[in-house]
Amino acid sequence: MAPKLSIFLPVYNEEDNLIRLNEKIFQAMAALGHSFEIIYVDDGSSDRSLEYLKQFAAADSRVKVIGFRRNYGQTAAMAAGIAAASGEVLIPMDADLQNDPADIVRLLAKLDEGYDVVSGWRKDRQDAFITRTFPSRLANGLISKIGGVPLHDYGCSLKAYRREVLKDVNLYGEMHRFIPIYAAWAGARVAEIPVAHYPRTAGQSKYGLSRTIKVIFDMVTIKFMASYLTKPIYVFGWAGVVAFAISIFSGVFACLMKFASWPKHADFIQTPLPVLAMMMLGLGVQFFLMGLIAEMLVRTYHESQGKQIYTIKTKLNFDESEAANERK
């Protein structure tokens, strides 16, 4: 029988946190009283994280472990957790002990009010302000404006999803944080509640300022995928119109310089600006559009052939029916 809850956690070099984390999850689940499974996804850890996870799985069949062959990143680990989960409600969270499993009961209570997605908000965030909190606030504001879903904290991993919300979600890049946007675009009801956030006491953060830039790039991509995937001619067409307008303007101006001697004292031969402007415009348009085409090709490559964005080395406590479901 499928459990009520599927809790899945990406793990990357968190050996100092795992024992305490596992204990806290089991304590929270005991107080809650629902059937559950815990899915740890080891993202190619180089420390003893996978060894600890194997011990947890050996001690309790409700603990399931997926081990990647190498480090693929948090989004790939999230995607593996979603694919392997069998519960009615899916709950991702971090493995660094900065999230509190006790908050799961509050997420579920909000979900029971009729929402499809409940997102955690680290209102009192315990991270470095300059390198983590401030860039995150800027990114969250931009994401909310572009995505149309006003959340304070897209980066908080602790969320609760009804299973059907994640059924057709495919993740790339850093796009796991945009699942509430995907869900809202599909008609799901999204809510947000404050959750506890603790300072990291062991291990090191795997993310820095550069991640904010990547998130913004991914935001541009999903906006394009949502608005123009079935009508890319709108993008290509407008780019062509702009390029054509500049071409006409440059041509007319060049003719005026050559044949009408306007403006005075201007030398057509010694003026490289029209050529330079056209060359840079052409290069810019080509590079940008090539990037968008590449994004579409990546999705076609993976989805048309049923390919995953990760490869798995180890799976523990999964039966054949669950493995078959994951392959579908």
For the sheet with 159-162, list strands across it. 190-194, 117-121, 159-162, 89-92, 5-11, 36-42, 63-68, 312-316
Radius of gyration (C-alpha) of the chain in whole angstroms? 25
SS3 134: helix
Q: CA angle 328-322-58, nearest 5°?
A: 145
Residues 49 and 159 in one domain: yes
Is 214 a member of any domain? Answer: no
pLDDT one-digit tens code per residue, 153-168: 988 999 999 999 887 7
E strand or H helix at 121, and its extent?
Answer: strand 117-121
pLDDT at 295 over 60: yes
**What integer pLDDT is reported at residue 82 of this predicted model?**
93
Is the residue at 281 inside a domain?
yes
- Supply the angle between the helices 233-259 and 209-228 in degrees, to the nearest 10: 100
Which range is most confident: 161-170, 205-214, 310-319?
161-170
pLDDT at 281: 83
223, part of any domain: no
Q: CA–CA separation, 190 vs 210, rounded Å?
A: 28
Q: Do 184 and 237 sit in the same domain of this protein?
A: no
Q: Are residues 287 and 321 in the same domain?
A: no
pLDDT (tens digit per residue) in 17-49: 999 999 999 999 999 999 999 999 999 999 999
With tokens 């693929």, the residue in question is 72
Q: Choose between 107 and 312: higher pLDDT.
A: 107
Residue 290 confidence (pLDDT): 81
For residues 62 and 200, which has the higher predicted lDDT (pLDDT)?
A: 62
Mean pLDDT within 120-133: 83
Q: What CATH number corresponds to the domain at position 16?
A: 3.90.550.10
How much is the average pLDDT of 62-80? Answer: 94
CB 131 within 8 A of CB 54: no
Considering the domain architecture, whether residues 110 and 239 belong to the same structural domain is answered as: no
Expressed as residue numbers, the domain containing 245 is: 233-304
Determine the length of the chain. 328
Alpha-carbon span 203 to 144, nearest angstrom: 31
Q: Based on the structure, what is the number of domains in the chain?
A: 2
Q: % helix / strand / coil in the chain, to the nearest 5? A: 50, 15, 35
Answer whether residue 307 shows pLDDT above 70: no
Higher pLDDT: 174 or 16? It is 16
215 has a pLDDT exceeding 80: no
Report, as an integer, the average pLDDT of 110-114.
96
Cβ density class 289-317: b for 16+ within 10 Å, e for less: eeebeebeeeeeeeeeeeeebbeeeebbb
Mean pLDDT (whole number) for 181-210: 81
314 and 300 together in one domain: no
pLDDT of 230 reads: 61
Cis peptide before 10 (omega within 30 of 0): no
More confident residue, 249 or 326: 249
| Higher pLDDT pick, 56 / 167 | 56
Whole-number pLDDT of residue 291: 78
pLDDT of residue 173: 67
Mean of all residue pLDDT scores within the chain: 84
322 and 187, same structural domain? yes
pLDDT reported for residue 311: 65
pLDDT of 143 > 70? The answer is yes
Q: Once rounded to an integer, what is the mean pLDDT over residues 257-277? A: 72
Please determine, for residue 127, whether its predicted confidence score (pLDDT) is greater than 90: no
pLDDT at 179: 87
Q: Which two tokens stand for residue 90?
A: 């899916």
> Within this chain, do residues 63 and 147 fall inside the same structural domain, yes or no?
yes
Going by pLDDT thresholds of 50, 70 and 90, the confidence category of residue 112 is very high
Percent of the chain at pLDDT exceeding 70:
87
